[in-house]
Amino acid sequence: MSSAAPVRFTPDVETVLPDEAKTIAGLNETFDTILETTAKDGGHAIRAVHAKAHGILEGTLTVAEGLPPELAQGLFARPGAHKVYLRLSTNAGDILPDAISLPRGLAMKVLDVEGERLPGAAGTTQDFIMVNGPVFQTKTAEKFHGNLKMLAKTTDRLEGTKVVLSSVLRGVNTALEAVGIESSAIQSLGGAPNVDPLGETYFSVTPFRYGDYIAKFSIVPVAGDLTALTGRTIDASGRENAIRETVRSEMAAISGRWEFRVQLCRDLEAQPVEDPTVEWSAEEAPFQTVAIIEASPQDSWDAARVQAVDEEMHFSIWTGLAAHRPLGNINRARKDTYAHSAEFRARFNGCPMHEPSGG
């Protein structure tokens, strides 16, 4: 375990690229292609990314008592319990059969959070958005835009071909992993293992301000009922919503318990802010638990909760406290694009987005 002191946050840890505004405009244009295509074909606007949810959970996040000063920051500065909503998903911008296996996502909305808000952040919630892999597929938003344009061309088209391609890519990815290589690009195109989302560990991938410091985050299953599902694959043959059905069956009896962990940056060269393709070594920058998330047995596809959370809420890393300001090029690009997607959904569906309160 590293004994290096955590790096203190200063504004100069970020390097703003000269063409970021142009890239963001291009991303919004490409997201519009996805949003407009899926809305036209389905008669209902969905998210531009992570469109398909597999479960909506209600639970509690409890901030630990007695945290050392470097961990007692922002939301985690004071011990106590907060109501949370968890949304399990996969990363495509269209609603695909579950036989097309993609990386899993976990978005968490923490309610009734006190403190100075990020500019434009409505309500009193703090959002965290994570995926089941430690690195992002591209270094910059510009390169991500190039990948997105290719994916946009396949939106709502050739689903049978996508199923076949996913099967092929899973084989390629398995072969790469057998020789010690992981490919986030192949996984993002449909080569990810078709794993049970309840057993997965999730990562913020990108860095954030952590009060006086800089950090990445993870959510790790610790309950035996969850860890028993880690790595377990779901057979989606002939079942379009196999993942949702599986999660619903499991959560009817499972008491979920996860740890929310913080990985403080301790070396800006080894743990860069502007390159999310670099995994921060857990040996050099260890993850430390700051809170527990619990969800009792429940109906993970309860109609009222699905309507309230999946339809009437949006999740954005820019919804929250100034103490957890998103950092880096990818995160800066996500601010306007997330808002753009949410505004399209609200306008098309005639339903404004809501920020909930636990009261």
Q: Which domain holds residue 292?
A: 11-349
User: Does residue 357 belong to any structural domain of this protein?
Assistant: no
30 domain residue, yes or no: yes
pLDDT of residue 292: 98
Distance CA 290, CA 298 (A): 25
pLDDT in tens, the chain (359 residues): 557 999 999 999 999 989 899 998 988 888 787 778 777 878 887 786 778 899 999 999 999 999 999 999 999 999 999 999 999 998 776 667 787 777 889 999 999 999 999 999 999 999 999 999 999 888 888 877 766 666 665 554 444 443 333 343 334 333 434 444 444 443 444 446 789 999 999 999 999 999 999 999 999 999 999 999 999 999 988 898 999 999 999 999 999 999 999 999 999 999 999 999 999 999 999 999 999 999 999 999 999 999 999 999 999 999 999 999 999 999 998 888 888 888 888 899 998 998 998 65
Residue 258 lies in a domain: yes
- How many whole angstroms from its chain centre is CA 342? 16
Number of domains composing the chain: 1
* Integer Cα distance of 104 and 53 in angstroms: 10
Domain contains 2: no
Kindly state whether residue 271 falls inside one of the protein's structural domains. Answer: yes
Q: Flag whether 95 is in a domain.
A: yes
User: What CATH number does residue 231 fall under?
Assistant: 2.40.180.10
Tell me the residue type at 234. Answer: I
Tokens of 110: 């923490």
Structural contact between residues 284 and 267, judged by C-beta atoms closer than 8 angstroms: yes
* Residue 358 maps to a domain: no
In a domain, 5, yes or no: no
Whether 278 contacts 135, CB under 8 Å: yes
Distance separating alpha carbons of residues 355 and 122, to the nearest angstrom: 7
